[in-house]
Chains A and B, each alone.
Chain A
């Protein structure tokens, strides 16, 4: 229904006006400043600014690390969602509440906690170090922190889809002689695939820009374990506003491309 003069519900003009003012002032104008600032560098200067080896290494770590972290959280996320939806057991509510912990925990606290845990003398870091695996202050630590913040995205996107999945399809497959494993692989997993992909996209998008949980455990060695958001901070400290904005724009462009690509995959799937 289009709002006309006779719309019985009052308040359209007022609420839309307030919303636009709120959105424009707090989000759109600030983001416009981000997009326009690198213009002063010129196209060549912008390119030079975002392809500097140190920047390139940081962008690569943030982007590839985010993809790796999101991919690594898919199997455990699926397992947790499956157990929470399909099984009834004592403590289920508690387990369910725990899933949201990374959402609620301030990122700096998560960063500190993971560092303490995985440092060479930490509860988990010490045994892992004995196995020759160094986690804290390496790119692996970066991926671990990104996976920590990404896990709830997978669980929370898969859960509702799994809950609404009709049991009839599984029953039909079983009746037709499929083993349980075949049913899960051929019937359940394909039905969950779009949700898994959506969760993957959200986890990866969050991880690309992640800062607080990562910088403590990363060690922040230039060219090795330095993430892109940290370079923005470094450039701002040198009052290089345009350079900082250029990194910000590059990060936004990368997330945008990622979401676009995943969207395309989803569309191709639906056609297949």
Chain B
């Protein structure tokens, strides 16, 4: 490399320092503020806030919603990525664009659409009410809203990778007499497992952390339809700051674990590519 295609050493370090300072103040400091506020009065009040029955119910509900939404969107994403990356058919690009559509929709709108369908004054509201079924202001609504906002994650991570891989390996497996399921398990899955894991992780982080969409369909019934992010808001609005920041810190921890796991997965991908 000729010296003229890079910056002088001093300038280089200045730019690195500037970038580090920027990310530190703009991204890291807010994170530090969450943990500091949560621990403002030490561990016991924070612990108390987290073991409060309403907080525990919120944690359970968040886990339940993610446990339903993530597998559904993983299966759908696998099917979508499979047909988009392995076959050519008219409307393929449109299909991919439609799968990615939920990313450009506001979280609040992602909740609103379900109210318009199943709310008291929604298309199917009266029909549901006559049968004593409740979707909005109940767990099914939370699941549907979460499904909408986490819809594209898995498909979007898989499509570029599977397109790059091509279909030769699976064709060979089929020619050798493997059934579709065998070929999927023995050929496709090993090739995409790291990307799949990464997509699932992101999908899960969003599912557990979603706020706007679930806020619209939840009805904020404590102990019943309150997920963790919604519990944070309720506590905050009631000026229970330590409690709000304690639950927020738990969610922030989830984000950090997700980022760490994603970094590990990416390293796994790099090693897989090198091998």
**Do the two chains bind?**
yes
Name B19's contact: one of A26, A83, A148 (CB within 8 Å).
A83
A205 to B106, CA, bound (A): 9
**Known pairs A98-B27, A101-B255; A171 contacts B34 (CB<8 A):** no
Interface: B112 (CB within 8 A): yes
Task: Please determine whether A19 and B112 come into contact, CB atoms closer than 8 angstroms.
Answer: no
Which residue of the partner chain, among A82, A98, A252, contacts B109 with CB atoms under 8 Å?
Answer: A252
Given A15-B79, A108-B232, A170-B5; 15 other pairs, CB 8 A cutoff: A1-B88, A2-B89, A7-B87, A11-B180, A15-B82, A16-B83, A23-B99, A101-B259, A103-B202, A104-B202, A106-B252, A108-B251, A117-B30, A211-B212, A229-B212
Q: Given known contacts A19-B79, A79-B15, is B117 in contact with A108 (CB within 8 Å)? A: no
Tell me if A79 and B19 are in contact (CB < 8 A): yes
B205 at the interface (CB under 8 A from A): yes
Chain B's nearest CB lies how many Å from the CB of A212?
4
Whether A19 contacts B108 in the complex (CB less than 8 A), given A104-B255, A114-B30, comes out as: no
Chain A residue nearest in CB terms to B254: A106
Q: Is the CB of A15 within 8 A of B83?
A: yes
* Contact partner, B87, options A9, A22, A89, Cβ 8 Å: A9
Any chain B CB within 8 A of the CB of A265?
no
Stretch of B45-53, B126-134, B170-178 that contacts chain A? B170-178
In Å, the complex CA distance between A209 and B105 comes to 7
Contact present for B109 and A248 (CB under 8 Å): yes
Question: 7 smallest A-B Cβ distances: which pairs?
Answer: A209-B106, A106-B209, A30-B113, A113-B30, A22-B76, A211-B212, A174-B4
**Cross-interface CB contact of B232 among A33, A112, A175, cutoff 8 Å:** A112
Say yes or no: A76-B22 contact (C-beta < 8 A), given A87-B12, A117-B29, A212-B229: yes
Closest to A201 in B: B104
Pick the residue among B102, B229, B263 that contacts A27 (CB under 8 A): B102
Q: How far is the CA of A177 from the CA of B209 in the complex (A)?
A: 53
Q: Is the CB of A34 within 8 A of B112?
A: yes
Whether the Cβ atoms of A101 and B31 lie closer than 8 Å is yes
For the complex, what is the distance from the CA of A102 to the CA of B23, rounded to whole Å? 11
Contacts of A97 in B (CB 8 A): 259-260, 263
Q: Which of B31, B104, B254 contacts A113 (CB 8 A)?
A: B31
Question: Interface residues of B: mostly helix, strand, loop or mixed?
Answer: helix
Closest to B101 in A: A27
Interface set of A (CB-CB < 8 Å, partner B): 1-3, 7-12, 14-16, 18-19, 22-23, 26-31, 33-34, 37, 76, 79-80, 82-84, 86-87, 89, 91, 93, 95, 97-110, 112-114, 116-117, 122-124, 148, 151, 167, 170-171, 174-175, 180, 183, 205-206, 208-212, 216, 228-230, 232-233, 236, 239, 241, 244-245, 248, 251-252, 255, 259
Residues of A within 8 A of B259 (CB): 97, 100-101, 104
CB within 8 Å of A: which B1-59 residues:
1-2, 4-7, 12-13, 15-16, 18-20, 22-23, 25-31, 33-34, 37
Instruction: Verify B245–A112 contact, CB threshold 8 A.
Output: yes
Instruction: List chain A residues, Cβ under 8 A from B33.
Output: 113, 116-117, 122-123
Contacts of A239 in B (CB 8 A): 120-121
CA distance A255 to B109 in the complex (A): 13
Would A106 and B210 count as touching, CB distance under 8 A?
yes
Q: Is the CB of A22 within 8 A of B232?
A: no
Q: Which of A30, A109, A252 contacts B148 (CB 8 A)?
A: A30
Residues of chain A with a CB closer than 8 A to B167's CB = 9
- Asked if B76 and A244 make an inter-chain contact with CB atoms under 8 angstroms apart, the answer reads no
Q: Are A109 and B252 in contact (CB under 8 A)?
A: yes
Least distance between B31 CB and chain A CB atoms (Å): 7
Is A245 a contact partner of B116 (Cβ separation < 8 A)?
yes
Decide if A107 touches B88 in the complex (CB within 8 Å).
Answer: no
User: Closest residue to B245 on the A side, CB-wise?
Assistant: A112
Contact call B29/A99, Cβ cutoff below 8 A: no
A216 and B236 contacting across the interface, CB-CB below 8 Å: yes
A5→B95 CA distance, assembly (Å): 22
Structural contact, A244 and B112, CB atoms closer than 8 A: yes
Which residues of B are found within 8 Å of A105, using beta-carbon distances? 31, 209, 251-252, 255
